């Protein structure tokens, strides 16, 4: 594996390295990283022999300001696979710069994980989606309209980094690992769809006219996270898969008002199913069919 720290800009590299060194000194390591979205944090209850470190104790980490995002890293074994879970995510809408929101996933990469499963709560744009449906992310569109990795990578215009940043047909989500996730869900008896995730700024939920536009652009689900994380991890050579929990239908199809509490409650209702899928997937993602 190339030294991933060399892919980071010199200003960010030391910060990422300091946090990773602190965690390594606590014995934290793992093969698969898990990023747990709104309402899905309880997946950590399935981790055996857990070591939990509050974000506040990790050098440079912010504590999430969003309710239900606990802000701790939990490492241990899940389905026999060493994992490092981020229970609590930092979002651009909290007013944080990318070097803050992306630090936790950069640290997962620095700790040497091979794959990261990004999970999130999302609104369904596909009119067939119902609250509680799961969507494996086949691809994404990042509607932040600015490169979230600006200034974070070494030599962004240099040949090596450019090759890493603009991968062939822009397949940020690893096809083989994505297929493994779909097959694991089937094996766990949990139906999943596949689709395109649109990442927007928030924090307000989008008005109807934006929903109409996103649908016309063939987006199947919309949320406020994940795409920048996926781009960074991919640029650092980490294989990425994504799983959205559809917490609400898009309001164009009738839901009058939506609150963060609605999103969290639906997440809580289906999080055991999400955990079943993740646990079934983990051995497959590391090449051990279990």
Give residues 224-243 in contact with ligand HPA (rule: CB under 6 A).
224
CB of 249 to ligand HPA, least distance (A): 8
CB-nearer residue toward ligand HPA: 95 or 203 = 203
**Contact (CB, 8 A) for 125 and 40:** no
CB of 125 to ligand HPA, least distance (A): 9
Q: Convert 231-255 to b/e letters by CB count within 10 Å (16 or more is b).
A: bbbbbbebbbbbbbbbbbbbbbeee
- 205 lies in the binding site for ligand HPA (CB under 6 A): yes
Sign of CA dihedral 222, 228, 229, 235: positive
**Contact (CB, 8 A) for 246 and 193:** no
Catalytic site includes residue 224: yes
Q: Strand, coil or helix: what is 117? A: strand
**Contact (CB, 8 A) for 177 and 285:** yes
Residue with tokens 């090449």: 287
Catalytic site includes residue 128: no
Which is catalytic among the residues 19, 68, 69, 199? 69
Catalytic site includes residue 69: yes
Which is catalytic among the residues 5, 120, 199, 225? 225
- 173 lies in the binding site for ligand HPA (CB under 6 A): no
Give residues 88-147 in contact with ligand HPA (rule: CB under 6 A).
121-123
Residue with tokens 């050098």: 59
Catalytic site includes residue 38: yes
- 197 lies in the binding site for ligand HPA (CB under 6 A): no
DSSP 289: -
CB of 126 to ligand HPA, least distance (A): 12
Q: How many residues bind ligand HPA (CB under 6 A)?
A: 12
Residue nearest to ligand HPA (CB): 123
Catalytic site includes residue 94: yes
- Among 117, 104, 96, 131, smallest CA distance to 202 is for 96
Q: Which residues are catalytic?
A: 38, 69, 91, 93-94, 121, 224-225, 248, 260
Residues at the interface with ligand HPA (CB under 6 A): 121-123, 205-206, 222-224, 247-248, 258, 263
């Amino acid at each position: 594996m190339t030294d991933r720290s060399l892919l980071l800009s010199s200003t960010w590299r030391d910060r990422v390295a300091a946090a990773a060194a602190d965690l390594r000194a606590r014995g934290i390591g793992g093969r698969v990283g898990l990023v747990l979205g709104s309402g899905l944090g309880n997946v950590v209850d399935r981790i055996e022999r857990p070591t939990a470190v509050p974000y506040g104790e990790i050098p440079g980490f912010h504590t999430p300001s969003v309710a239900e995002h606990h802000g701790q890293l939990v490492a241990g074994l899940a389905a026999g696979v060493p994992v490092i879970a981020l229970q609590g995510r930092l979002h651009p809408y909290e007013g944080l710069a990318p070097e803050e929101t992306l630090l936790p996933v950069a640290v997962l990469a620095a700790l040497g994980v091979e794959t990261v499963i990004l999970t999130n709560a999302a609104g369904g744009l596909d009119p067939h989606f119902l609250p509680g449906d799961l969507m494996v992310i086949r691809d994404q569109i990042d509607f932040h309209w600015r490169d979230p990795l600006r200034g974070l990578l070494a030599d962004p215009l240099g040949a090596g980094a450019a090759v890493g940043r603009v991968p062939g047909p822009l397949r940020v989500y690893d096809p083989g690992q994505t297929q493994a996730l779909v097959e694991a869900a089937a094996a766990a008896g949990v139906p999943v769809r596949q689709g395109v995730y649109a990442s927007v700024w928030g924090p307000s939920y989008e008005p109807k006219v934006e929903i109409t536009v996103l649908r016309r652009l063939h987006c199947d689900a919309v949320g406020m996270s994940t795409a920048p994380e996926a781009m960074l991890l991919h640029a650092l050579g980490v294989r990425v898969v994504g799983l959205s929990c559809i917490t609400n239908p898009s309001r164009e199809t009738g839901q009058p008002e939506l609150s963060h509490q609605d999103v969290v409650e639906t997440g809580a209702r289906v999080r055991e199913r999400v955990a079943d899928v993740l646990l079934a997937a983990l051995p497959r993602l590391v090449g051990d069919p279990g």
